[in-house]
Amino acid sequence: MDADQQTQIVEKPFDTDQVNTPFGKRYGDEKVVITAEQLHALQQGKLIAVDVMNEYVLFIELDKSAMQNP
């Protein structure tokens, strides 16, 4: 799966019970809200580690090329 296919910008959370999601069929979802402090940490080159359903860890990193070419 391409990186472009692993992330999508959406208007709001969607119901993962729907068949036609941007990623195909999925069986669960979770919403992550970041603080201004966490956003600042991303802008400083840090990562955010998110516990997902007490089973996985998701690492969020800001695309450094986006900071160089706004």
What's the confidence (pLDDT) of residue 23? 83
**pTM of structure:** 0.73
What's the confidence (pLDDT) of residue 1? 43
The low-confidence residues of the chain, meaning pLDDT below 50, are 1-2
* Strand bridging mode 48-52 / 56-60: antiparallel
Dihedral sign from CA coordinates of 52, 56, 38, 62: negative
Secondary structure of residue 51 in the 3-state scheme: strand
What is the DSSP code (8-state) at residue 55? T
Secondary structure of residue 57 in the 3-state scheme: strand
What's the confidence (pLDDT) of residue 66? 65
